Amino acid sequence: MGKQFFGTDGIRGKVGEYPVTPDFVLRLGWGIGSYIKSKYPDESCIVVIGKDTRISGYMFESALQAGLVAAGVNVKLMGPMPTPAVAYITRTLRAKMGIVISASHNPYYDNGIKLFSEKGTKLDDEAEFAIEAALMSDVMTTPSESLGKVTRINDAAGRYIEYCKSTVSAGFSLSGSKIVVDCAHGATYHVADKVFKELDASVVTLGAEPNGLNINDKLGSTSPAQLQAKVLEVNADFGIAFDGDGDRVIFVDAKGQVVDGDQLIYLIAQEMDANALGQSGVVGTLMTNMGIENALKEQGFQFYRAKVGDRYVKEAMIEHGWILGGESSGHIICSDVSTTGDGIISALKVLSAVKSQGKPLHELLENVSLYPQKMINVEAKDQKSLCEHPEIKAAAAKVEAELDGKGRVLLRPSGTEPLVRVMVEAEDMRLVEHNVEHLSGIVRQVAQSVE
């Protein structure tokens, strides 16, 4: 049986709609605490809680800590901090778990819960199943003398800033570089600019005035238009945009062009290889641009496509023994220095690559040709079975055969909506347009015929 509440990246949904409700989150806190105490019955257990800047975070933070304390677990609150900072502090404090209250790049009216193990990695399936099983039991408050306590980590931001800076060489400096940093009014608002300033960069900041409702609003890694304009306006060398919880990053070069996660991974791979870090391969996803795959292979890197989702990327990295993987969205895992995707650390890796090669960002990517791609979403009630329908599979195979290795087809059921995502990628945009329209039309016809 599948999990009832946990998806590929925790629990997420619209605030006030089950299960993203205060009563459920209180029960979740108790379930997490109950699970931890069952594993460590004789220990004083700590759980770290961080959040992004959306207004509902106050409500869910209170609900979580109430449930955890009722189960006899001590809680340490970080306040608004990037998701990777919670993973880091969880490890350094020897906490039994880290919890992030965030819906990442989603609007303010969504929220969610992400969980990290004591090693700072996403929870495995076994732990999530065990927590869901605990949720089925009645909430039982431990005797008063055994209740947990709640304290605040006052130096969390400083610890994380120093950690980020420690991931580049001691002599690394951004002196002479002007950077526009877009924090999306999210969790990086009070740490990202400090990291770059303390490395001697001149920093112009966008999106660092959160009010609980403006997170990801026309800013951040999913909305780079304002960052592009500001880079050109102030004649900056780079623009760097994070998402609401700080685990994704994209760049804008000095010409105002967006540099996505695929291109950043290519640059980081080159830097890791040049520094003899044993980076023999890179993990991407089903969405990674074919042009990046080809460019990496031309540089001597192996390449593997995992399913979409950072959990699957990390699993593939471990399986292959590689230290770099990520997604075109800008969620990049550099496992030589971090246990999870970290926007600030990934940005520093890119800046290190640019500095070491002594060329502007756009010049380093001149020989990397991205393939045009287009995606059409087709509404379908049973999206998973539709992707396996013989007529649709045959049509997709025919298109891919006609592309003859110079393009590819991707049919993917959405994990969050009743949609089939139809994507075609090829060297020629005309081929992309023709084939994606043709294939999505077949998917639409079959969907209508079986419903």
Higher pLDDT, 272 or 186: 186
- What's the confidence (pLDDT) of residue 60? 98
- What's the confidence (pLDDT) of residue 8? 78
DSSP annotation string for 98-116 = EEEE--TTS-TTEEEEEEE
Helix (H, G, I), strand (E, B) or coil at 361: helix
Q: What is the mean pLDDT of residues 14-20?
A: 97
Q: What is the mean pLDDT of residues 181-199?
A: 98
Please report which confidence band the pLDDT of residue 414 belongs to, taking 50, 70 and 90 as the band edges: confident
Q: What is the mean pLDDT of residues 347-351?
A: 97
- What's the confidence (pLDDT) of residue 278? 60
Q: Is 280 a known active-site residue?
A: no
CATH tag, 160-168+175-364: 3.40.120.10
Domain ranges of the chain: 11-154, 160-168+175-364, 373-450
**CATH fold for the domain made of 11-154:** Alpha-D-Glucose-1,6-Bisphosphate; Chain A, domain 3 (3.40.120)
Please report which confidence band the pLDDT of residue 279 belongs to, taking 50, 70 and 90 as the band edges: low
- What's the confidence (pLDDT) of residue 276? 65
Q: What is the mean pLDDT of residues 265-283?
A: 84
pLDDT at 221 over 70: yes
Nearest to 253 by CA among 242, 240, 266: 240
Helices in 200-260 by DSSP H: which ranges? 225-233
CA distance 254 to 239: 8
Domain 373-450 -> CATH class: alpha beta
Catalytic residue among 56, 102, 104, 328: 104
- What's the confidence (pLDDT) of residue 160? 98
Rg (CA), the chain: 22
Over residues 361-390, the pLDDT tens digits come to 999 999 899 999 999 999 988 888 889 999
- What's the confidence (pLDDT) of residue 66? 98
Q: Which two tokens stand for residue 153?
A: 């980590």
Q: What is the 3-state secondary structure (H, E, C) of 293-350?
A: HHHHHHCCCEEEEECCCHHHHHHHHHHHCCCEEECCCCEEEECCCCCCCCHHHHHHHH
Please report which confidence band the pLDDT of residue 7 belongs to, taking 50, 70 and 90 as the band edges: confident
For the chain, percent of residues with pLDDT exceeding 70: 98
Question: pTM of the prediction?
Answer: 0.93
pLDDT at 416 over 70: no
* Backbone phi and psi for residue 331, each to the nearest 5 degrees, phi listed first: -85, 105
- What's the confidence (pLDDT) of residue 55? 98
End-to-end CA distance of the chain: 25
CA distance 298 to 307: 23
* Backbone phi and psi for residue 439, each to the nearest 5 degrees, phi listed first: -70, -40
Over residues 117-139, the pLDDT tens digits come to 999 999 989 999 999 999 988 99
Is the CB of residue 428 less than 8 Å from the CB of residue 372?
yes
pLDDT at 198 over 90: yes
- What's the confidence (pLDDT) of residue 272? 86
pLDDT at 408 over 90: yes
373-450 shares the fold of 11-154:
no
Please report which confidence band the pLDDT of residue 208 belongs to, taking 50, 70 and 90 as the band edges: very high
Please report which confidence band the pLDDT of residue 277 belongs to, taking 50, 70 and 90 as the band edges: low
Q: What is the mean pLDDT of residues 148-177?
A: 97
Q: What is the mean pLDDT of residues 248-273?
A: 95
Mean pLDDT across the chain: 95
Q: What is the mean pLDDT of residues 63-67?
A: 98
